[in-house]
Amino acid sequence: MSTPVSARSRDEGLEVRSKDSPRDGRASRAEKIREQRRRELLDVALKVFAQRGYHQARIADIIDAAGVARGTFYLYFESKNAIFHALLDDLLARVRTSVVGVSMAGNAPPVNVQIRQSVERVLAAFVASPDLTRVVLREAVGLDAEVDKKLFDFYARLHRWLADALANGARLGLLRVSNGDLAAWAVLGTIKQMVQLLVDGPADSGRKPTITEAAEAILDYSLLGLAPR
């Protein structure tokens, strides 16, 4: 009555509450069921996208796997594209949430520990859903303009975060002053590569690193460099 709405209305903005539908138990349960279905569809779609790729994936694959009727899919998502966007948003939001600044509070852990935790948190946010990460990394680039913009903004945000962290570190004398922007891109490149390693495994048949190892490698490489000290 109030919440379950066609996928179409997702952009309609204000939801008007109908006069005789208080948020009673029935509505609330319906809402819960709706959310479950939505999740189920997202999960199934992720599997399908992971297996066949976005372009090869057919709506039929998704609804067959989910065991719902064709129309039901469109009750929850506007289009094939929309469900991909939902998946993408899920991942990006999760990663964004995992990105936090360094606290200078007295009771905060030492800076270097905070940094390590921060990096681990970001990696973990990706690795928590390896399939999703793989799909987003493989299928999202160049899919459509909107997806491009989301990724662009997402990376720009990460870059900003890194550049700020570098600038702060330099101010505190913890880091060498370098071309901060380029260095931030370099760090980002390292992180992206480690994420790929974590979800895909290495190209050669080597061992897939753990999150801790990957974070360690990032910090070791970024901070100390490869030259002997």
Residues forming contacts to DNA in the complex (CB under 7 A) are 1, 3-6, 18, 21, 26, 30, 33-34, 37, 56-60, 68-76, 79-81
Report the residue from 97, 104, 189, 212 that binds a copy of itself according to the rule CB under 8 A.
189
Site string for a copy of itself, 4-43 (x = CB under 8 A): ----------------------------------------
Residues 148-167: x/- map of binding to a copy of itself (CB under 8 A)?
Answer: ----xx-xx--xx-----x-
Minimum Å gap between C-beta 12 and DNA is 13
Among 33, 27, 34, 84, which residue's Cα sits nearest to residue 55? 84
68 binds, among DNA, a copy of itself, none (CB under 5 to 8 A by kind): DNA
Q: Which of 21, 97, 141, 171 binds a copy of itself (CB under 8 A)?
A: 141
Nearest to 23 by CA among 51, 3, 47: 3
Q: How many residues bind a copy of itself (CB under 8 A)?
A: 55
- Residue 197 interacts with which of DNA, a copy of itself, none, CB < 5 to 8 Å by class: a copy of itself
Q: Mind spelling out the 3-state secondary structure of the chain?
A: CCCCCCHHHHHCCCCCCCCCCCCCHHHHHHHHHHHHHHHHHHHHHHHHHHHHCCCCCCHHHHHHHHCCCHHHHHHHCCCHHHHHHHHHHHHHHHHHHHCCCCCCCCCCCCHHHHHHHHHHHHHHHHHCCHHHHHHHHHHCCCCCHHHHHHHHHHHHHHHHHHHHHHHHHHHCCCCCCCCHHHHHHHHHHHHHHHHHHHHHCCCCCCCCCCHHHHHHHHHHHHHHCCCCC
Paired tokens of 70? 């064709």
Does residue 178 interact with a copy of itself by CB under 8 A? yes
Q: What's the token pair of residue 66?
A: 């989910």
Q: Are 123 and 194 in contact (CB under 8 A)?
A: yes
CB of 107 to a copy of itself, least distance (A): 25
Q: Give the residue, chosen from 139, 147, 161, 199, that forms a contact with a copy of itself under the rule CB under 8 A.
A: 139
72 binds, among DNA, a copy of itself, none (CB under 5 to 8 A by kind): DNA
Q: By CB under 8 A, which span of 24-32, 36-44, 74-82, 171-179 interacts with a copy of itself?
A: 171-179
Query: What type of residue is 200?
Result: D
What are the residues binding a copy of itself (CB under 8 A)? 53-55, 137-139, 141-142, 152-153, 155-156, 159-160, 166, 169, 173-176, 178-179, 181-183, 185-194, 197, 202-204, 206, 209, 213-214, 217-218, 220-229
